[in-house]
Amino acid sequence: MTALPAAGRAVTDVDLVLAHTPLPTDEVVSGSPTTAIAVLDDTGDREIGIWEMTPGTACDTEVDELFVVLWGRATIVFEDPSLPDLEVGPGSVVRLAEGMRTTWIVTETLRKVYIA
């Protein structure tokens, strides 16, 4: 992973290279998606970071989170509670609630900044 910037410095999201790992097989619905994460701040009772997933389909149980998509495209299918599918892409701002069960269908590598 490219080093995160020190206070008062910057790195572009394009320059931030993340180390990917395969998802657990029980989470993968189709394809061979991998994910990567870079925690930017975990002080107090919140975490801010960058998360990325390569194309494929995987299920997840969410935590309380607000995120902004930097690049890529995906459809989030809400299994529980049942909500309309959500198409996300660059600039999408989404809030997820703890315990939501979702399926992520990533069609273009998705990178987001999250606050959890």
**pLDDT digit of tens for each residue in the chain (116 aa)?**
555 667 777 666 666 889 999 999 999 999 999 999 998 888 889 999 999 999 999 999 999 999 999 999 999 999 999 999 999 999 999 999 999 999 999 999 999 999 99
Q: Is residue 74 part of a domain?
A: yes
Predicted TM-score of the model (pTM)? 0.89
Q: Is residue 27 part of a domain?
A: yes
Burial class of residue 44 (count of CB atoms within 10 Å of its CB; 0-12, 13-18, 19+): exposed
Q: Is residue 49 part of a domain?
A: yes
60: containing domain:
21-115
Q: Is residue 91 part of a domain?
A: yes
* CATH code of residue 44: 2.60.120.10
Which helix (H) or strand (E) segment is 88 a member of?
Answer: strand 83-88
Q: Is residue 63 part of a domain?
A: yes
